[in-house]
Structure 1
């Protein structure tokens, strides 16, 4: 008998990304490469159904994935939604056997771990809108994800 506490996993990989930074270039290439190898990958433009509520659908997709690839780009932290995703991803990593691969796309991994420039400015801006508790949670998730071994792509 299956345990109800173990989520059903439908996706091999969940891709977390800031659309305006990578959707029309790097992301398309990565998604096609994974798809060509038969890897079932969740990407919102392909999997999110019209009329579906975005927040619950994305959180459920993270829960139903085996692996998350977080594509940290220059403006990733400017999106409160990306920050919610990374927080959920890191929660899943703590709660179960969930693999997380960070990909640092044109951003230094140190900027993700300990924000000093763009990420710091974004967090300060978010604090006035969402409060200290939310920003503290997001900063912890960024720091934890930034400490994971991943790939650093500068201009490739």
Structure 2
């Protein structure tokens, strides 16, 4: 017995899956931003790690302080990436379930709805962590007082 779903069934399922697929594209864009931030944080920490052994006094203390902040930012942004990837994976599962349910005639609408809610929760938590990382980075940015001296006329 060969099962071949009708073209209208497949077309209707594709129409239903379009919104989650657009969400997947949006999550991909968010992941691109998060990965870019992580790369910049890592680059900065590597540069400071090279300066650290040669520094002394207040400069050394400043390097240690910034390295601690960078380490915290790496942890937060990594968690945000993990949550957003988990969100993307659940979107993929939702789309797959939409097709399986339509083809096999399963009534799993409640399961799909719960998974989609889970997707949104994961994405929301990832975005909250992104906001936390941005907040940490903004708190850490400060221009040293000696660099802000007014020009002498």
Same fold (TM over 0.5): no
TM-score when normalising by structure 1: 0.25
Instruction: Pick the structure with more strand per residue.
Output: 1
